[in-house]
Structure 1
Amino acid sequence: MKPHYFLAIVIPDDMKKAIFHEMKQHHLPFKKFTHPEDYHITLAFIGDAEERSLEEVCARLEESLKMIRSFPLRLTSFGTFGLPASPRIFWIGTDEPEELYHLQSITVNICTKAGFKLDERPYRPHLTTARKWNVDQAYTPVAAPKWKDITVNEVALYETNRLEEPKYTKKWSCLLNETRED
């Protein structure tokens, strides 16, 4: 089975620990929980790809990301995809800053120019934490805590290794511009 690839925002380690701790406290009956090292916010899912095409995307992204400043982002809420009573995906939403959509747009444009066919559904930024509701009892929404802001300052290319845990391996990354005009 060939690996799949995606580009995503890297979540800082301290926030990964906070998310993992929060998920443990809720004791939600999902079949599978995301390994804390796999927490990320996807910008573009590429799928199967040739190494040359991935290198081209990374080189173009690196050039473009030099111009993008790091920015704050807040995790804001819990949400689900799938049936409301038995969700398929449990996720954490964001405050959806304009900079996030700009970064995602740049990423998608570069991937598209490199010949990748990407998902055309509207972008819904989120961080997946669990999958497959695993009981007959209906899911009841839970409130998210007040998270501290994180600084979005790194974009990475990840490779999916479905048989391993954690299942995502960082293959390349680039830091956003950290300079500030005060």
Structure 2
Amino acid sequence: MANHYFIGIKIPLPEARSLVEQRDSWNLSSHKRYPAAEDLHITLVFIGADPEGEIRAVEQALQNIAHSPFDLKITGTGYFGKKERPGVVYAAVEESESLNGLQDKIMTALKDFNLTPDTKPFVPHITIANKWAGKDKWTEIPAFGPGHFSVEDFSLFRIEPNSTPRYVAIKTYKLKDGV
């Protein structure tokens, strides 16, 4: 199977551990996957496969992005799918012009490559459970307490489906002064 890639923000370990502890306190058995704290992230752009071997050039293009560090707040819980059978349960992140701006800059940096990044609308989130496998429907989605963290870098990740952690940072880019 070909390697798959994405660009994202790794959640700092103290905040990631807090999210995992909260999730684990819910005693879920409804999903197939419960990401480890080390794998928690916000996906900025899912790239998928690299059919033409451009990932090294993508590494170089991402170095040219100038964007100032910023803070993000976790505002609660959200889900994708039906509320009673959510395919993905996530920690919701507040709306952020800085986060949206960084995502826009990354999409622009990728436009000259023959990649097929995901074009769904950007919904910033931190997946904490996915792949619905439950028998009992949910009556409510448990809530995350508020949290916050600083975003000082982003990374190009390779997905290693049979490893822990599943997401390996190939290259990390420090945010530097920029708009």
Give me the TM-score of the superposition, normalised by structure 2.
0.91
Supply the distance in 1 between the matched residues of 2:133 and 2:48 (Cα, whole angstroms): 28
Return structure 1 stretches of 4+ with deviation > 4 angstroms.
none
Number of residues of Structure 1 aligned to a counterpart in Structure 2: 176
| 1:53 Cα offset (Å) | 1.6
| Greater share of helix | 1
Q: Tell me whether 1:76 sits opposite 2:48 in the alignment.
A: no
| Cα offsets for 1:2-39 (capped at 9, x unmatched) | 11000001211111111111111111222320121111
SS at match of 1:174: strand
For 1:1-182, what aligned pairs fall within 5 Å after superposition? 1-29=1-29, 30-49=31-50, 53-64=54-65, 67-139=66-138, 140-147=140-147, 149-177=148-176
Q: CA RMSD in A?
A: 1.8
- Kindly, what percent of the aligned residue pairs are identical? 27
SS at match of 1:57: helix
SS at match of 1:123: coil
| 1:178 Cα offset (Å) | 6.5
| Cα offsets for 1:139-174 (capped at 9, x unmatched) | 122222021x21111110111111122211111111
| Cα offsets for 1:36-67 (capped at 9, x unmatched) | 11111001111111685222222121121xx3
Q: Is the 8 A contact 1:9 1:41 kept in 2?
A: yes
| 1:107 Cα offset (Å) | 0.6
Give me the TM-score of the superposition, normalised by structure 1.
0.89
Where structure 2 has 5 or more consecutive residues not aligned to the other structure, the ranges are none
Where structure 1 has 5 or more consecutive residues not aligned to the other structure, the ranges are none
Supply the distance in 2 between the matched residues of 1:34 and 1:109 (Cα, whole angstroms): 29
Supply the distance in 1 between the matched residues of 2:69 and 2:42 (Cα, whole angstroms): 15
Which amino acid is the alignment partner of residue 19 of structure 1?
L
